Chain A
Amino acid sequence: MHLRTALCAASALALVASTAYAETITIATVNNGDMIRMQGYTDDFTAKTGHTVEWVTLEENVLRQRVTTDITTKGGAFDIMTIGMYETPIWGKNGWLVPLDGLSAEYDVDDILPAMRNGLSHDGTLYAAPFYGESSMVMYRTDLMEKAGLEMPKAPTWDFIREAAIAMTDRDNEINGVCLRGKAGWGEGGAFITVTGNSFGARWFDEDWKAQFDQPEWANALNFFVDLMNEAGPPGYATNGFNENLSLFQQGKCGMWIDATVAASFVTNPNDSTVADKVGFALAPDNGLGKRSNWLWAWALAIPAGTQKADAAKQFIEWATSKEYIELVAAKEGWANVPPGARTSLYANPEYQKVPFAQMTLDSINAADPNNPTVKPVPYVGIQFVAIPEFAGIATEVSQEFSAAYAGQQTVEEALAKAQALTTDAMEAAGY
């Protein structure tokens, strides 16, 4: 340890000559594939700026818990935090994040996809830079679809998804028509059922912030989902999240999978996926009501207010979310592996347009509208979430009730009644 510190100090000293300040910044991040890849390229950043980086890589739930505690207590343990589209506007509003203004001209902040920039801003000020962005879409097995004698439209309906799922299901060979998230947690099954609800006309709150789980739209959406999964879903879907479904799909056990657009690069990667060359893409389904069930999300880098190393942190963010970083990854690992969904120029790049899922990802992102997420008017912003501080807690509990219904421990009606009661209670506690 001492030796290490000494070495760091020595190398830092050596760099003082060339750069103004050589600092060590601490970055908290999530253990997703693109972030792990970014860690591998840290040396490129150090070579360019002289700053060194300490990584704290945590699983998503632990990360959220960790960074939230630190930001609310002004603990100052991190110089950069990896947060999402849900946290950014709330934290920005509280003045907890350093505004990302005065970014260099080469960085070209206007190149960030408008949907992402909008979602990561509060009152027009950008508070976090998107490392990658995503929507959700349908990924399906072209061979199984053909075998079932069906053809996937570019913009399917839920009825078609159901028809196709039942036709593709072959339980004897462990092929499930459709794999969807049922796992408890607001960012897991909670996100999926919320967007499904959106397409069925359901909403979390009415204009007076009254919980809406007692409305027929929610019952329709939830019953549809449960019936679909019982007929054509994998066993134990009540505990399946993104990662479980990814693994099932890669093993060839799913006919369709509706999930994050970033998954496209994993399922088409022949190193990990047994079905890499048999995957097609389509927009997330709708139910004829004018809203598709796709979400909008970005994992973004933000600087907590109060850090002494805001300048070095900003340099890192400029590096990690730049066009050059994308080119660096493309040069080393191919265009399919660059962080998607963040920049307009990426989708204008002819090389990237050759990637099979590029256009569908962009179309999905563009089809998402956080200001008008569902059929009826709502008082909130956010598609698969509601951008208020209380939402994460409430939605996690609601999704736990839903998961219990998926597992058959209670009926859909019971789950909805409990969801209504606990949401009402929590909103009351929050003073709505």
Chain B
Amino acid sequence: MARAVTSQRKTINTVIAWGVGLLIFFPILWTILTSFKTEAQAINDPPLFLFFDWTLENYSVVQERSDYMRFLWNSVIIAGGSTILGTIIAVPAAWSMAFVPSKRTKDILLWMLSTKMLPAVGVLYPIYLLFIQLGLLDTRIGLVIVLMLINLPIIVWMLYTYFKEIPGEILEAARMDGAGLRDEILYVLTPMAVPGIASTILLNLILAWNEAFWTLNLTAANAGPLTAFIASYSSPEGLFFAKLSAASTMAIAPILILGWFSQKQLVRGLTFGAVK
């Protein structure tokens, strides 16, 4: 009896959850489908779902017009570089906040978050002028630094919450065994914190990949990532739904695939200290 109810409930759950999941995913699915249509089919009335002449034409047109690999590579460097740099700077900071807390730890954390509230458009001129002075305009290193700084508060905060969950007794035990500070971090803490660090890195890759203001405004031909790539397809002359869809698919595919593979990590890891 109990099993029958469970199985029935499971079926209902499954149907509802799949329905909702597909609904939420639908805009992405529709974009991907449209990218395989011709421009005329893309605006067909009634809309065509699966039964159309699948074509790769849009992808080759997009590739011919813009060197996708170059934008992709810039995105990888900028998102990856800023995340790695940010993590290297944030780990010690978060560690010290978590294990040697002071009265001001919470204030410092909140202050760090508040630096994210400076509206980017308001400080474009100052940053642009600064970039010219420093010769960072249209360089990947410049964007790595900016995106690192933008996401640093989030990285510190996430890591802090993970480190706090590590019981202090373990550290004391390690100290009893005569472990130095360096060994403590390297051999005791780090292994325990790896899942947390992994989730942090993932979230920041996503945020850095999708950042669309600085990446567009501080680049020209050399350092433009995929956000700049998409800016040349947003509203050209003539019919463009299919080409826009192809370019969009190309822009989001790498991070989407990465996200899917690391889905478990994200589902378990994104706590921000919400779970005690």
Contact = CB atoms under 8 A, between A and B. Distances in A.
A69 B220 contact: no
A412 B29 CA distance: 41
Nearest to A274: B40
Contacts of B236: 31-33, 36, 59, 243
Given A55-B221, A56-B224, A32 B128 contact: no
B238 A31 contact: no
Contact of B132 (A4, A56, A75): A75
B232 A31 contact: yes
A39 B65 contact: yes
B13 interface: no
Interface string B116-159: 00000000110011011000011000000000000000000000
A28 B220 CA distance: 8
B231 interface: yes
B129 A26 contact: no
A39 B65 CA distance: 8
Nearest to A36: B65
A78 interface: yes
B128 A69 contact: yes
B221 A250 contact: no
Given A56-B220, A66-B216, A266 B237 contact: yes
Contacts of A54: 220-222
A76 to B, nearest CB: 7
Contacts, number: 88
A58 B232 contact: yes
Interface in B95-125: 124-125
A105 B125 CA distance: 42
A46 interface: no
A13 B258 CA distance: 40
Contacts of A354: none
Given A1-B73, A58-B232, A247-B238, A65 B217 contact: yes
Contact of B237 (A4, A33, A58, A66): A33
B32 interface: no
A59 B240 CA distance: 13
A252 to B, nearest CB: 11
Contacts of A73: 125, 128-129, 132
Interface string A221-260: 0000000000000000000011100110011000000000
B232 A57 contact: yes
B70 interface: yes
26 contacts: A28-B220, A31-B236, A32-B237, A33-B238, A55-B66, A56-B228, A57-B232, A59-B231, A59-B236, A60-B235, A62-B216, A65-B217, A69-B217, A74-B132, A75-B131, A75-B132, A75-B137, A77-B137, A78-B220, A243-B235, A243-B236, A246-B238, A247-B238, A250-B238, A263-B237, A266-B238
Interface of B: 39, 43, 64-66, 70, 73, 124-125, 128-129, 131-132, 137-138, 216-217, 220-222, 224, 228, 231-240
**Nearest 7 pairs of A and B residues by beta carbon:** A54-B221, A57-B232, A77-B220, A59-B234, A31-B236, A26-B221, A33-B237
